[in-house]
Amino acid sequence: MLKKKKGLMLSLTVASSILLAAGCSSSTGGSESSGEKNNDLPAVGATIYKFDDNFMSYVRRAMETAADGKVNLMLNDSQNDQAKQIEQVDTLIAKGAKSLAINLVDPKAAQTIVDKAKAKDIPVIFFNKEPDKSVLEGYDKAYYVGTTSSESGVIQGELIAKAWEANKDKWDRNGDGKLQYVLLKGEPGHPDAEARTKYVVDTVKEKGIEVEELALDTGMWDATKATEKMDAWIAKYNDKIEFVIANNDGMALGAIASLEKAGYFSGDKFMPVVGVDAIPEALDMIENGKMVGTVLNDAKNQGAATVQLAANAANGKDVLDGTEWELDDSKAVRVPYIEITKDNIQVGKDAYK
């Protein structure tokens, strides 16, 4: 009996140790998606500013697909906390990452991350959130994968201008010839948010359309925050609003949820809404006539390109080796945007196959 009891106690102790070890591993690195099962492959340490961001969830999936069988992708959720992301970078370096793929929480932290990587001669691929050009220029092994921020604003502006001209008789509620809009902005200071906000309005004006801004505020890329903002704007401006412009689809969906509560998209009560990203949920809204259009921000190719460059770097190769990508004079791979409306909805769907 005594031997059996000792054996049982030993088993419980071992089991407890395993559970504690598992708990400790997740506390330092956030959430890791690949990792231990691919220990024989070169390690790429990666962070995403927050896993539950609509668009970044699709980038993450694309990264995991691209990494499968090629690299040991140690992928972490920074939970929108820059201090946590810095700790994760330290942990990834300590775990032997041969390259880093970083979706910054705050672009201002890029230099800190480069300094840590440079000290260990580790290449860094920033993605989706672009650091200052000087950061990339200051380290010969630092690169960026993303888009040209202004391009999405220009394309969104062109989309709005075409839709407004085609439907002005119905959408110009007060008949003053001006487009009265509200705008949901992403995170203040984020390069995409600033560029999209500026270039979308500038482009509509360049098309000869007079505009009037009723309200502009940040929804921080978040659907719930966008719903709250839209609720307040509807209460204040009601049917003075003639167009809803959102810096991303997540906020566009949040605005639509608010508009639906106010009786829009029922009968002949309609509000034109546009976003950016072309996430599947937004494509559904376009098909259902609740969204005018969006701009495809190619999550699949952004995720794939990031891993391709990071894998090459981890293997000591030229980052572009065997890829279709090119670097511009800012040491960046630019994945192009595409306008998506009901007319070419399949292009958006194909991006998720």
Strand segments (E) across 114-203: 124-127, 142-146, 179-185
N-terminal to C-terminal alpha carbon distance within the chain: 60
| 157 and 284 both lie in a single domain | yes
Contact 161, 209 (CB under 8 A): yes
| 55 and 154 both lie in a single domain | no
Tell me the residue range of the domain where 191 lies. 150-296
Q: Is residue 342 part of a domain?
A: no
Contact 139, 124 (CB under 8 A): yes
| 166 and 270 both lie in a single domain | yes
As for how many domains the chain has, the answer is: 2
| 278 and 175 both lie in a single domain | yes
Domain-terminating residue out of 280, 296, 312: 296
CA separation, residue 48 to residues 75, 104, 167 (Å):
8, 7, 40
| 194 and 309 both lie in a single domain | no
| 177 and 230 both lie in a single domain | yes
- Say how many C-beta atoms besides its own lie within 10 A of residue 131's C-beta: 21
291: domain CATH number?
3.40.50.2300
Q: Is residue 95 part of a domain?
A: yes
- How far apart are the C-alpha atoms of 13 and 240, rounded to whole Å? 68
| 232 and 183 both lie in a single domain | yes
| 72 and 156 both lie in a single domain | no
- How far apart are the C-alpha atoms of 241 and 260, rounded to whole Å? 15
Q: Which residue, among 135, 94, 193, 146, has the nearest Cα to 334 in the 3D structure?
A: 146
Q: Is residue 278 part of a domain?
A: yes
The torsion angles phi and psi of 345, rounded to 5 degrees, stand at: -55, -30
Domain-terminating residue out of 270, 296, 322: 296
Q: Is residue 344 part of a domain?
A: no
- How far apart are the C-alpha atoms of 88 and 82, rounded to whole Å? 10
Q: Is residue 10 part of a domain?
A: no
| 276 and 330 both lie in a single domain | no
- Say how many C-beta atoms besides its own lie within 10 A of residue 350's C-beta: 11
Q: Is residue 277 part of a domain?
A: yes
| 33 and 119 both lie in a single domain | yes
| 166 and 274 both lie in a single domain | yes
Q: Is residue 13 part of a domain?
A: no
In tens digits, the chain (353 residues) has pLDDT values of: 433 333 433 343 334 333 333 333 233 344 454 444 557 899 999 999 999 998 999 999 999 999 999 999 999 999 999 999 999 999 999 999 999 999 999 999 999 999 999 999 999 999 999 999 999 999 999 999 999 999 999 999 999 999 999 999 999 999 999 999 999 999 998 889 999 999 999 999 999 999 999 999 999 999 999 999 999 999 999 999 999 999 999 999 999 999 999 999 999 999 999 999 999 999 999 999 999 999 999 999 999 999 999 999 999 999 999 999 999 999 999 999 999 999 999 999 998 88
The torsion angles phi and psi of 96, rounded to 5 degrees, stand at: 95, 25
Q: Is residue 351 part of a domain?
A: no
| 207 and 311 both lie in a single domain | no
